[in-house]
Amino acid sequence: MKTPKDVAARGRPPTITRERIANAGIQIGLPNITFVGVAAALGVSHMALYKHVSSLEALKHLVAEAIFTRWDLPRGEGNGDDGLKNYLITFTTSIREFVKAHPGLTPYVIRRLAATEPMLAKIREHQSYIACTYGISEEKSRWLLATVAFHCIAVSDTVYSVAGQEPTVKADRAAEEAEMETELIQGMQALIIGALIMLEEDAGLNSSASQPNDNHPKK
C-alpha cells in the first residue's frame, strides 16, 4: 500500500534549473530550440518554463552561454615564439571543432555585445593566461587572441554551414567540406604568422623609440 508521502513525491513537478534548461537546449541544438521543445524535454509546460526564462531569445542566450562556458579551451606551455605559434594553431583547431559541433552558436560568440558576463569573464581569463604564459602584454594577448578567434569562428561557420547545403550527395558533401576545411586551416596558419610578425614589428618599433638617439646633436 502506497503512503501519502509516496504519492506526493511521485506527483512533485520536475525542478527547473538553469543547468537543466541549458542541458535540454544543448541536446536540441540552437537552430531548433523552441519553448515547447525545451519544456517537453524538461517534462514541464511551456508556461512553467516562461517563469524562468522571459523570451525565446533569452532562452537561446542561456544555452549559448552554457555551451561557451563549458568549452574546454586548450592551455599553452610557453616555450618562446614557436610555442606561441604552435599554441595558436592548436587554438584554431579547437575553435573549428567547437563551431562545427554547435551550429547556430556563432552570432552569440562573435559579437561582443551579445556575450554575457560569464562569457566575457572566460575570455578575459584566457587572455590573461596566454599573456602570462608567453610573456606578452595583456593588450597584445587580447588583440592576438581576438583577431585569431574572430576570423576562425567566422570562416569556420561559413565553411560548415555551406558544406551542409546542396548538392545533397553525401560523398560530394564530404569531399567539399574536406577541401574547404584544408583551405581554412592554411588560411588560419597564414593569419597567425602575419599576426605574430606584426607583434614583433610593434615590439621593435617600441624598443627603438625607447633608445637614445645618438645622432641627435649634443648641446
Sequential pLDDT tens for the chain (219 residues):
444 444 444 556 668 999 999 999 999 999 999 999 999 999 999 899 999 999 999 999 999 999 999 999 998 876 665 799 999 999 999 999 999 999 999 999 988 788 899 999 999 999 999 999 999 999 999 999 999 999 999 999 999 887 666 655 666 777 888 899 999 999 999 999 999 999 888 766 565 555 555 554 443
Is 70 in contact with 50 (CB distance < 8 Å)? no
Q: For cell 527547473, what's the residue?
A: 16
- Of the three residues 41, 68, 95, the one that is the final residue of a domain is 68
Separation CA 140–CA 200 (nearest Å): 11
Same domain for 34 and 89, yes or no, is no
Residue 9 belongs to a domain: no
Separation CA 164–CA 166 (nearest Å): 7
List the Cα angle 51/54/58 in 5-degree steps: 130
Residue 8 belongs to a domain: no
Same domain for 40 and 134, yes or no, is no
Q: For cell 592576438, what's the residue?
A: 144
Is 109 in contact with 115 (CB distance < 8 Å)? yes
Same domain for 97 and 193, yes or no, is yes
Q: Which residues contact 19 (CB under 8 A, 6 or more apart)?
A: 66
Which grid coordinates are listed for 9?
Answer: 513525491
Is 96 in contact with 152 (CB distance < 8 Å)? yes
Is 26 in contact with 108 (CB distance < 8 Å)? no
What pLDDT is recorded for position 168? 56
Same domain for 174 and 88, yes or no, is yes
Q: Which domain holds residue 22?
A: 14-68
Same domain for 22 and 112, yes or no, is no
Same domain for 99 and 64, yes or no, is no
pTM of this structure: 0.81
Q: Which of 87, 97, 92 is nearest to 130 (CA)?
A: 87
